[in-house]
Amino acid sequence: MQRRFTIIALLLITSFLHMNAQQQSPGKYANINGLKLYYEIYGTGNPLILLHGGGSTIKTTYGRIIPELQKKHKVIAIELQAHGHTADINRPLSFEQDADDVASLLQQLDISKADFFGFSNGGTTSLQIAIRHPKLVNKLILASTTYKREGMQPGFFEAMQNATLATMPKPLQESYLEINPDPKGLQTMFERDVARMRSFKDISDDLIQSIVAPALVINGDSEVVRVEHALMLSRKLPHAELTILPGGHGDYIGEICAANQGSKIPVLLIAIIDEFLKKP
């Protein structure tokens, strides 16, 4: 009899812990512009919106640094159309549409102003948010961000013409399939991102110069986005500062494809970001 009660108690405890874990899960969905948009919230304080790179998820882009960011900020990390938990819908993929989706989500969350941290494609989306929804933006963190085609290393756009799923980094493929074990979904995400980059059009200097929010431009010194482009972006933005860190695309944030996952550079970057965000 005692053994039976012990088993029942263990089952009840396990059930309670499972329910509690579900309640504490940071993941949520919002109905946005016909899209079931996935986002996660961590920490407290001023809102900091995280926008991932192409072919990526919250975890693959920001998994290394969210635990540090949430110590001082209310982190709201979003998975955009066709990426991760957010399924694709029947409409084109564009940086402008992503920007409008993010703006609509913040309106639902009753957030009138926020800081934005965008990496790679997420950085270009952050620029579009600042252009299309300027009142939403307090400060911008633009990591490996492109606004002109010439900003990418020579041969990048030529390679896009013949890109296949086999060329997509395996960690990104595996991370998508962990969330959504559907090879068709993975193929769709890849094709959407490739099509967007093939048709990428420069953002005009006039629009970049219209962005009044303070910006921190970050780039690796040996990556797909040219250092010269990061410098040019920081000069075109009216209120920007520039940080160049060693490494490739996303190494400085510990992105999942980073060559050295044990690097201390992400720790340094967090300190730089905190200093930038606390400036008046």
Of 20-29, 53-62, 143-152, 268-277, give the lowest mean pLDDT range: 20-29
Q: What is the DSSP string of 226-267?
A: -HHHHHHHHHHSTTEEEEEESSSTTGGGT-TT-S-TT-SHHH
143 in Cβ contact with 123 (< 8 Å): yes
Closest CA to 125 of 144, 99, 88: 99
Count Cβ atoms within 10 A of the Cβ of residue 95 and give its class: 0-12 exposed, 13-18 middle, 19 or more buried.
buried
Q: Is the pLDDT at 158 greater than 60, yes or no?
A: yes
**Tally: H helices and E strands in the chain:** 11, 8
**β 74-79/35-42 pair status:** antiparallel
Neighbours of 127 (CB within 10 A): 26
Closest CA to 49 of 131, 94, 132, 112: 112
Place 25 in a pLDDT band, splitting at 50, 70 and 90: low
Q: CA 60 to CA 229: how far, in whole Å?
A: 24
- Please name the helix (run of DSSP H) or strand (run of DSSP E) that holds residue 140, with its range, or none: strand 137-143
**Region 149-173: what's the mean pLDDT?**
96
pLDDT in tens, 93-144: 999 999 999 999 999 999 999 999 999 999 999 999 999 999 999 999 999 9
**Region 193-199: what's the mean pLDDT?**
96
More confident residue, 1 or 36: 36
**CATH 3.40.50.360 given to domain 27-278:** no
Neighbours of 91 (CB within 10 A): 11
Question: Which pTM value belongs to this model?
Answer: 0.91
**Domain locations along the chain:** 27-278
Residue 255 is encoded by which pair of tokens? Answer: 């992105």
Round the average pLDDT of the chain to a whole number and report it: 92
pLDDT in tens, 213-227: 999 999 999 999 999
Q: Is the pLDDT at 4 greater than 60, yes or no?
A: no
pLDDT in tens, 80-90: 999 999 999 99
CA dihedral 56, 139, 219, 87 (to 10 degrees): 10
